[in-house]
Amino acid sequence: MKLNAVVAGVGMTKFGKHLDTGMKALGGEAVTAAVADAGIQLDDIEAAWVGNAAAGVVTGQECIRGEVVLRGIGLGKLPVVNVENACASASTALNQAAAMVSAGMYDLVLALGVEKLYHLDKTKTFGAFSGAVDVESLAEIMAGLAKSAEAGGAREASSGAGTKRSMFMDIYAAVARSHMERYGTTVEQFARISEKNSFHGSLNPRAQFREALTVEEILASPMIAEPLTRPMCSPIGDGGAAVILVSERKAKELGIREPVTVASSVLRSGWDREPDEPGAATLCANEAYEEASVGPQDLDVVECHDASAPAEIFAYEDLGMCARGEGGRLIDEGITALGGRTPVNTSGGLLRKGHPVGATGLAQIVELTEQLQGRSGDRQVEGARVGLAHNGGGTIGTDVAALCVTILKK
């Protein structure tokens, strides 16, 4: 279906450790900011899609998460759809909201993502991540990760997954070791991703971490799961992000003169594919390019799912920004840094902006919208008109469980 939803307003909280702030307050802050940005009233919202991944495990809030958050700011009566789709929860909420506006069902809707991951009991947090795989195969998955670590001489990665850290860092580490062996990608290239994103994050007042790091500091940091040191891994975090979407008719009524439109939004799940067969990310990207009538060469700015530093290099390849195995070259040549041909993760990415999983996908849309509107301050990409968001979550077999690619155009 051809999308034509317009972004009328965006808002988000600062991402970080908010032990004393509940999910209602975080979500409410993001919605309030987006409503103010759009110049509308709360009761103008006709429907809402609310993304959240982990509240059931971390806080115990199940079943009516979106309704609880929105009622906390006095927003009721409207239909609320709760969206849970691992780290792709928020981008899935946007995907569904944009489709309903484009189909003519509503003129003005809300997409919200919100997450509370910090907890005094860290096993609750890590337990939420362990549920983003096929739990009936969990023992087999853990045994496979341990075997991969042993074969690669990775001592840290051989134990502690799911108890001392998110098991997904071990999954990323295993894929990273494979990529290094097959294509010659180096640990220094992974460190350059973290260095770049730390510089970008230092320019973002809403980022969880604002310190700019050097490659040397990143390589000298504590090892989490070989070859990933701590700055190569996205942190847990709390936060919220919200987007107001409107129809083209409503955009004219609101006086939006240079609209940012959702040109395409493609959501797919993974499948049992052959080892060298392109996965869900490439499938989504190709479909999104076709729907938006653009290609990777047309992208001015990208927000990708760098849950680990190697994941950003994988994304370059999945999105067609370079050939398979050449992702390291892009970071070496500065192509994806501010000032380069296609800046990636100008927000700091998940590595530095933070990764409250249920809010991440919409935080990407906030960053891209502000970039296309020319209001990103010191990290502004001059003349940006086309932005792409790449957001995935969960793992089943050898592929991501859920993957969404969204393209915005000015």
pLDDT digits (tens, 9 = 90+) for 241-278: 999 999 999 999 999 988 999 999 999 999 999 888 99
- Same domain? 186 vs 280: no
The catalytic residues are: 87, 355
- Same domain? 324 vs 266: yes
Give residue-wise pLDDT tens across range 86-123: 999 999 999 999 999 999 999 999 999 999 999 888 88
Q: What integer is the mean pLDDT of 202-218?
A: 98
- Same domain? 48 vs 194: no
- Same domain? 244 vs 368: yes
- Same domain? 309 vs 396: yes
The DSSP secondary structure of 237-302, one letter per residue, reads -BEEEEEEEE-HHHHHHHT-SS-EEEEEEEEEE-----TTS--HHHHHHHHHHHHHT--GGG-SEE
Residue type for 108, please? Answer: L
Task: Report in angstroms the alpha-carbon separations of 44 from 21, 32, 47, 108, 159.
Answer: 27, 13, 9, 7, 52
- Same domain? 213 vs 306: no
Give the chain's largest Cα–Cα span.
62
Instruction: Give residue 160's pLDDT.
Output: 63
Q: Is residue 226 a part of any domain in this protein?
A: yes
- Same domain? 259 vs 356: yes
- Domain of 25, in residue numbers: 6-120+236-409
How far is it, in rounded angstroms, from Cα 398 to Cα 410?
36
- Out of 179, 198, 232, pick the residue that ends a domain: 232
Q: Is residue 146 a part of any domain in this protein?
A: yes
Given a cut of 60, whether residue 71 has pLDDT beyond it is yes
The residue to which tokens 């509308």 are assigned? 40
- Same domain? 169 vs 264: no
| CB environment 90-107: b (16+ within 10 A), e (fewer) | bbbbbbbbbbbbbeeebb
Q: Is residue 335 a part of any domain in this protein?
A: yes
Instruction: Tell me if 56 sits within 8 A of 131, measured CB to CB.
Output: no
The residues near 34 (Cβ < 8 Å, ≥ 6 apart) are 9, 10, 11, 110, 242, 243, 244
- Same domain? 43 vs 113: yes
In whole angstroms, how large is the CA radius of gyration of the chain? 20
The residue to which tokens 């994050």 are assigned? 201
Pairing of strands 108-115, 47-51: parallel
- 334: alpha, beta or left, given left = phi > 0 and alpha = psi -120 to 50? left
Helices (H), 115-264: 122-130, 138-151, 167-183, 187-202, 215-219, 248-254
Pairing of strands 399-409, 386-396: antiparallel
Instruction: Tell me if 311 sits within 8 A of 233, measured CB to CB.
Output: no
If DSSP codes are grouped into helix, strand and coil, which group holds residue 326? coil
How far is it, in rounded angstroms, from Cα 350 to Cα 395?
18
Instruction: Tell me if 133 sits within 8 A of 396, measured CB to CB.
Output: yes
227 cis-preceded (ω within 30 degrees of 0)? yes
What does residue 216 show for φ and ψ, rounded to 5 degrees?
-65, -40
Instruction: Give residue 125's pLDDT.
Output: 85
Instruction: Give residue 147's pLDDT.
Output: 82
Q: Is residue 153 a part of any domain in this protein?
A: yes
Q: Is residue 125 a part of any domain in this protein?
A: no
Instruction: Give residue 67's pLDDT.
Output: 98
Q: Is residue 69 a part of any domain in this protein?
A: yes
Instruction: Tell me if 319 sits within 8 A of 181, measured CB to CB.
Output: no
Cα torsion angle, 30, 36, 38, 43, sign: positive
Q: Which of 180, 176, 184 is nearest to 228 (CA)?
A: 176
Instruction: Give residue 376's pLDDT.
Output: 98
- Same domain? 98 vs 245: yes
Given a cut of 80, whether residue 35 has pLDDT beyond it is yes
- Same domain? 288 vs 338: yes
**Over pLDDT 70: what percentage of the chain?**
98
How far is it, in rounded angstroms, from Cα 337 to Cα 210?
17
Instruction: Give residue 159's pLDDT.
Output: 62
Instruction: Tell me if 404 sits within 8 A of 392, measured CB to CB.
Output: yes
Given a cut of 60, whether residue 158 has pLDDT beyond it is no
The count of structural domains within the chain is: 2
**Over pLDDT 90: what percentage of the chain?**
87
- Out of 211, 232, 253, pick the residue that ends a domain: 232
For residue 63, give the CATH number of its domain.
3.40.47.10
- Same domain? 156 vs 206: yes
Give residue-wise pLDDT tens across range 2-15: 899 999 999 999 99
- Out of 232, 252, 284, pick the residue that ends a domain: 232
Residue 72 CA neighbour count, 13 Å, CB half: 17
Q: Is residue 1 a part of any domain in this protein?
A: no
User: Cα–Cα–Cα angle for 208, 111, 69, nearest 5°?
Assistant: 75
Residue type for 109, please? Answer: V
Q: Which of 307, 327, 319 is nearest to 388 (CA)?
A: 319
Banded pLDDT at 156 (limits 50, 70, 90)? low
**What's the chain's average pLDDT?**
95
Residue 189 CA to its chain's centroid (Å): 21
Q: Is residue 139 a part of any domain in this protein?
A: yes
Torsion of Cα atoms, 13 then 17 then 23 then 26, to 10°: -20
Q: What does the DSSP 8-state code read for residue 8?
A: E
